């Protein structure tokens, strides 16, 4: 198993892992420092208790010796049991500062108590402090005590605790050992936690590299609902959008290539036949007309592409104004007359008898009506009817354009606003570019208007939307 899965020493996994580890180590260091400080305080309190107990024992012992008239040698000998304790030594001074009793030489006795300590205690002070004597850390407690009930002045008792270095060293070693074991265990846990937290990010990095190379099929596995999980969902949404855009790009190239190649192939074939003299003079006018139709189709495709590009780039700005909608529809119907007559389609206008004024961009709305009518003509059967109906609804007017064409099922209806989409067999037709409805929807959205499409296979299609009245 690799310690650093990313293979980079400066990866987020290492940064996260070391941040956790350093934070944990600092916390343990502070804990150890506080614990050691509390250990000192507790140790010194124990020393104070030990000093108090020893002072009571000595005072009681000296009182017994005085009551029983022990001689000085017997008193000194009997005191050795109290004066000679493990890791500590007791020294007794009289009120004149002279040494009365001390541990026996060779039993850890200490010689050389600073006279200033005795003087300070005789002056009425109590001393409790740590100090280094002969290079060893010791703790000294000095206080007055009563050697006997009949003694007028107080004597001095000094208690020196030895091997304080050893006790502190043991405490420090225990703390360091505990910290080492804790960091070792915590390090393993933090390693797995850091690895788990950074796993989605490393997956995103790998998938991002594949996306950059054009593979849009990869997705991030969502393992949580936190910020990283939300980032993964956003990443997957981005990948889906890129996949959709890539598919649209492929479809765009395929459709544009198809729609450009078909009329160009026809024009090239007609020109070749004209140049070769294959077409007789009596039929040349007919083929000139065909070439003009194909040229018009190419021009319309290029214009539609330019309109789509301008709409998506936000370069088209509508300029709403009050104008006569009824008159516009009558003029548009007249412009569509040649196409309607060619397929023997009847166009009926309902609700245009009175002039209806609306507030919209007149030029862009003409584009909308022409595209919708051309779509109706393209998908209508010969001899059928196209109906345009106006109906006022409160402060708006509803415009409906209905044809009696082949219609669409629900699945096709969901895609009619996609660029270059052509329903079913209409893809093989020469009429239509598949961009008209996309342009219609974009223009109406600029007006803040939504368009609704209803259709049924074999029963025609109805497009409807509402414009604000002037």
pLDDT digits (tens, 9 = 90+) for 63-90: 888 888 888 788 888 888 788 777 788 8
Written out in words, the top-level CATH class of the domain with range 317-468 is alpha beta
Say whether pLDDT at 1 is over 50: no
Mean confidence (pLDDT) of the chain? 80
* Whole-angstrom distance, CA of residue 240 vs CA of residue 234: 10
Pick the more confident residue, 110 or 214: 214
Give the pLDDT mean for 296-324: 78
pLDDT band of residue 366 (cuts 50, 70, 90) is confident
> Is the full-model pTM beyond 0.95?
no
pLDDT digits (tens, 9 = 90+) for 197-231: 777 777 888 888 888 887 877 787 877 777 777 88
Cα-only R_g, the chain:
51
* Whole-angstrom distance, CA of residue 208 vs CA of residue 260: 35
Structure token digits, residue 110: 């200490």
pLDDT digits (tens, 9 = 90+) for 398-434: 989 998 888 887 777 777 777 666 654 444 344 555 6
Give the pLDDT mean for 105-130: 74
Q: Which pLDDT score is estimated for 430?
A: 45
pLDDT band of residue 5 (cuts 50, 70, 90) is very low
Say whether pLDDT at 260 is over 50: yes
Q: Which pLDDT score is estimated for 111?
A: 54
Say whether pLDDT at 7 is over 60: no
Say whether pLDDT at 441 is over 80: yes
* Whole-angstrom distance, CA of residue 386 vs CA of residue 345: 7
Q: Which pLDDT score is estimated for 131?
A: 77
Q: Which pLDDT score is estimated for 428?
A: 39
Comparing 1-5, 238-242, 309-313, which segment has the lowest mean pLDDT? 1-5
Backbone angles phi, psi at 343, to 5 degrees: -105, 10
Give the domain 216-316 fold: Helix Hairpins (1.10.287)
pLDDT band of residue 6 (cuts 50, 70, 90) is very low
pLDDT band of residue 9 (cuts 50, 70, 90) is very low
Q: How many CB atoms lie within 10 A of CB 342?
A: 10
Given a contact cutoff of 8 angstroms between Cβ atoms, the answer to whether 440 and 364 are in contact is no
> String of b and e for 39-58 (b: at least 16 CB within 10 Å)?
bbeebbeebeeebeebbeeb
CATH architecture for residues 12-172: 2-Layer Sandwich (3.30)
Given a contact cutoff of 8 angstroms between Cβ atoms, the answer to whether 185 and 103 are in contact is no
Could you state, in order of their start, the residue ranges of all structural domains in the chain? 12-172, 216-316, 317-468
Residue 222's contacts (CB-CB under 8 Å, 6 or more residues apart) are 229, 232, 233, 236
Say whether pLDDT at 309 is over 80: no
């Amino acid at each position: 198993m690799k310690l650093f899965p990313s293979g980079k020493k400066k990866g987020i996994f290492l940064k996260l892992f070391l941040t956790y580890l350093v934070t944990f180590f600092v916390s343990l260091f502070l804990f150890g420092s506080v614990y050691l400080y509390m250990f000192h305080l507790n140790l010194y309190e124990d020393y104070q208790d030990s000093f108090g107990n020893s002072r009571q024992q000595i005072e009681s012992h000296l009182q017994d010796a005085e009551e029983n008239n022990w001689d000085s040698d017997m008193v000194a000998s009997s005191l050795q049991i109290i004066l000679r304790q493990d890791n500590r030594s007791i020294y007794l001074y009289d009120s004149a500062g002279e040494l009365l009793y001390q541990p026996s030489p060779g039993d850890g006795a200490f010689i050389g108590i600073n006279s200033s300590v005795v003087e300070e205690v005789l002056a009425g002070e109590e001393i409790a402090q740590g100090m280094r004597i002969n290079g060893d850390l010791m703790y000294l407690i000095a206080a007055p005590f009563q050697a006997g009930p009949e003694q007028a002045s107080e004597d001095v008792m000094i208690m020196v605790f030895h091997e304080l270095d050893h006790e502190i060293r043991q405490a420090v070693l225990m703390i360091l050992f505990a910290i080492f074991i804790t960091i070792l265990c915590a390090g393993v846990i933090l390693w797995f936690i850091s690895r788990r937290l950074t796993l989605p990010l490393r997956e995103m990095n790998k998938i991002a590299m594949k996306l950059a190379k054009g593979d849009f099929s990869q997705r991030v596995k969502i393992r949580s609902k936190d910020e990283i999980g939300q980032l993964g969902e956003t990443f997957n949404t981005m990948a889906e959008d890129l996949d959709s855009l890539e598919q649209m790009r492929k479809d765009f190239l395929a459709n544009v290539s198809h729609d450009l190649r078909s009329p160009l192939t026809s024009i090239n074939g007609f020109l070749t036949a004209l140049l070769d003299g294959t077409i007789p003079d009596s039929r040349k006018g007919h083929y000139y007309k065909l070439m003009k139709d194909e040229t018009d189709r190419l021009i319309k495709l290029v214009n539609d592409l330019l309109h789509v590009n301008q709409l998506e780039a936000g370069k088209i700005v509508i300029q709403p104004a009050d104008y006569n909608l009824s008159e516009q529809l009558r003029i548009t119907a007249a412009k569509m007359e040649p196409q309607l007559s060619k397929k023997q389609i009847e166009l009926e206008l309902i609700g245009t008898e009175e002039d209806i004024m609306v507030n919209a961009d007149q030029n862009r709305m003409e584009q909308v009506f022409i595209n919708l009518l051309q779509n109706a003509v393209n998908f209508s059967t010969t001899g059928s009817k196209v109906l345009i109906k106006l109906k006022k609804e409160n402060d708006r007017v509803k415009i409906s354009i209905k044809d009696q064409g082949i219609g669409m099922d629900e699945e096709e209806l969901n895609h009619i606003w996609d660029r270059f989409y052509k329903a079913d067999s209409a893809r093989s037709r020469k009429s239509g570019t598949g961009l008209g409805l996309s342009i219609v929807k974009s223009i109406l959205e600029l007006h803040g208007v939504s368009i609704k499409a209803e259709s049924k296979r074999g029963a025609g299609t109805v497009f409807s939307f509402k414009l604000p009245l002037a």
